[in-house]
Structure 1
């Protein structure tokens, strides 16, 4: 719980630096994102979880909070090909977003925390004069066990 509280303090500072407050509704929303960080929740899923602790919150408030966090690059709004916007917290440990493997059979999502594109970024800057500020990489395909047996993971996120 201390790690979540530490991250809340950091996010609060980011909001304050742009003139925003960490209201109780925003804090409840951010806390859910932190607690369910591996799950890549949709706005509706965040809303349902926030309502368990903050029953008076409205869906529009959760949407506005998620959009604000996305504008401030605290979270990334992502679509993994299923037509649903999902929200993924940006990590402190890397300059760029982490990458994802997405199984087209079961929907399982695996995060790759390592940044494999450093050499490519250097080459882009050297050869094209283009300085990369961020990147995101998604691999779609099929896990071997899904090809053989059908998948038993049910779309669970894995790191």
Structure 2
């Protein structure tokens, strides 16, 4: 996400453009492909902006979610992680999916959306209109699979 676009969006909504808000978005943008907890995000932002507080990061994360600039993934261990929203996901109306390693905990994003045919079939047979879905597949990453052989 371009910082200038972000600043413009904040102004359009009548919100202040603060260095802390920009820093949170910048850290998420610099860590594309990573799935950060709020606490991890806070530690990274604090390195850039030492005066920021954890509460400010929490409020900024909520703002970014409300603006559809970031995505949230909830894992079965109760942890909530965030990542920058990809433009192609926003255009398609669907989020990408995640592969979660049961051994090392690594999270890998993948974009293949093979559920479109299923969604079409559901709509045709039941009249139910699927507007979104989230897929999390659990297993072992390549490195952990090789360890188990």
Coarse TM-score class (shorter-chain normalised) = 0.7 to 0.9
1:137 to 2:131 alignment: no
Q: 1:62-83, CA deviations, whole angstroms, 9 ceiling, x for partnerless residues?
A: 0000012123322122222333
Q: 1:83 aligns with which of 78, 84, 98?
A: 78
Is the deviation greater in 18-27 or in 89-98? 18-27
| C-alpha deviation, 1:11, in angstroms | 3.3
Match of 1:123 in 2: 121
For normalisation by structure 1, the TM-score amounts to 0.80
Count of aligned residue pairs for this structure pair: 146
1:107 to 2:105 alignment: yes
Q: 1:2-56, CA deviations, whole angstroms, 9 ceiling, x for partnerless residues?
A: xx5xx33333444444433432111000000000121111111111111111111
Query: Where does structure 1 differ by over 6 angstroms across 4 or more consecutive aligned residues?
Result: none
Provide the secondary structure at the position in 2 that maps to 1:41.
coil
For 1:30 and 1:111, how far apart are their aligned partners in 2?
19
What is the Cα-based RMSD across aligned positions, in Å?
A: 2.2
| C-alpha deviation, 1:100, in angstroms | 0.5
For 2:8 and 2:115, how far apart are their aligned partners in 1?
30
Unaligned runs of 5+ in 2: none
Unaligned runs of 5+ in 1: 151-159
